[in-house]
Structure 1
Amino acid sequence: MKSAIITLQRDAPAKPRLAEPCNGCGVCCAARLCPAALLLLRPRHAPCPALEWQPEPQRRYVCGLLRQPRHYLGWLPRWLEQPLRHRLHRSIAAGQGCDCTIEVE
């Protein structure tokens, strides 16, 4: 199995087990790009450029495309923000539990 080093904030929560609620650890987005990021942002490799660290009091990572889509997609008309957020929420399974199979040491 291929291993890689990803860099995350020291205060980031530990990665939850598969299917446990997402806690904003950031491992998934730091290691791999989701289809939405590939399509909309066109980065060449991880980490996702829209992976945002939320400092105190949250101390967790969030999807910047979901949180503030116009920041990353300057061309996006304001009226499309909510429909895009809805689609992104579904496409990344936000709130559905951890689906990241990466093992963290």
Structure 2
Amino acid sequence: MWRPIHAVVTSRVILLHPLAPPKPPPGAACNGCGVCCAAEPCPLGIALTRRRRGACAALRWDDAQARYRCGALADAEATLRVPRWAAPAARALAARWIAAGAGCDSDLVPQPSR
């Protein structure tokens, strides 16, 4: 006998810079595509911005590198509100907290724009 299964399927549109690189597969090195942070803030982003939904307010576009960067890493003084002398240590803690260098952990599947 068939029984109903209730599933919620959601899709959202996230806006990314047109020069942003394509999202790498999970586990591959981060290339700064911005998909994960544009979809929702990580725990550090939530702590910094007090936002739980929508794009992380700490996400920064880097024109020179044509990629997204976490503001806690790219501009620790302004994003983390620390003095210049404390920025390197704050950046190191932020990198550890967001697991920078550990590879892509986003399982989002971006769809091409129509």
TM-score of Structure 1 vs Structure 2, range by shorter chain:
0.7 to 0.9
> Percent identity, aligned pairs only?
44
Structure 2 residue 23 is matched with structure 1 residue 15: yes
Larger-gyration structure (1/2)? 2
Match of 1:91 in 2: 97
Distance change in 2, residues 1:21/1:66 (3 Å):
same
Task: Report matched runs for 1:50-89 at 5 Å.
Answer: 50-56=58-64, 58-74=65-81, 76-89=82-95
Q: Name the aligned partner's letter for residue 64 of structure 1.
A: G
Structure 2 residue 67 is matched with structure 1 residue 36: no
Structure 1 unaligned runs (5+)?
A: none
Flag as ranges the 4+ runs of structure 1 deviating above 6 A: none
Separation in structure 2 between the aligned mates of residue 72 and residue 89 of structure 1, nearest angstrom: 13
Which stretch shows the higher mean deviation, 89-98 or 36-45?
36-45
Separation in structure 2 between the aligned mates of residue 53 and residue 95 of structure 1, nearest angstrom: 18
Kindly state the Cα deviation for residue 44 of structure 1 after the two structures are TM-superposed: 4.6
Structure 2 unaligned runs (5+)?
A: 1-8
Deviations 1:40-75 (CA, angstroms, capped at 9, x unpaired): 22125221111111114x11101111111221243x
Task: Give the TM-score normalised by the residue count of structure 2.
Answer: 0.81
Task: Give the TM-score normalised by the residue count of structure 1.
Answer: 0.88
RMSD between superposed Cα atoms in Å = 1.5
